[in-house]
Amino acid sequence: MRTDADQTPDTDRTADETVAPDRTADTDEPDTEAATEADTEAATEAATEAAGGDGLEDADEESPARPRGRWDLWLLVAAVLLAGLGGWFLLRADELRSSPAAANAALVDTARTAEVSAAVTTALNQVFSYSYDRTEDTARVAADVLRGEARETYDRLFAQVRELAPDQKLVLTSRVVSTAVQELTEDSARVLVFLDQAATRADRDTSSGAAAQLSVTARLEGDRWVITGMVPR
């Protein structure tokens, strides 16, 4: 006949078979926790084996996906920023191309800069040089190379010269010593001009010299440059 003490080991054996073979039922509380952990691990392993290890493989496959997702996000942000900057640069480039500074070909287009400089130099040397006995020649040249306001102003002043020059026997020689093309477009130019002038009065047998500075506006007329404005500086 079994006693209660004899029956207890049977119960413990059942627990031992599930948890650990060498342990008895009369264990402390830590053994119960160990049994619970062992049961959990056993259940996890069983579930993993039943799933054929797919869970771990899926975890391994999914773990790199998060860094890729972050990189994709950064790449998307960078693409948006680059697109925005690209649009801004295109707009800015268009503004610069259409600005007056971009249209100014002075010194950039060296051939046309030299061309307008030479044309203005020749014209001014001729219209500001005259002899009291050949003023008609000077007036004819002026009519050929001057236009608009430049022509009107010159004609008004030269009328006084033609009136006084014969009595004074006045001879004026002008020579352009330097030019600076400040603005140059397809059909217009602005040129800063420095001149030396020498005047002789035969009636008094005197000579004098002076320097002049003009801001000249020129316009392309056909295939040649004409002067449309002259402002003393």
Per-residue pLDDT tens digits for 74-98: 676 666 666 665 555 555 555 544 5
Rounded Cα distance, 188 and 116, in Å: 9
Rounded Cα distance, 224 and 132, in Å: 29
Per-residue pLDDT tens digits for 130-145: 999 999 999 999 999 9
Going by their DSSP bridges, the two strands 188-201 and 224-232 should be labelled as unpaired
Residue 187: both structure tokens together: 């059909």
Helices then strands (H, E): number in the chain?
8, 5
In 98-146, which ranges are E strands?
130-131
Higher-confidence residue of 5 and 180: namely 180
Beta bridge partners of 193: 179, 214
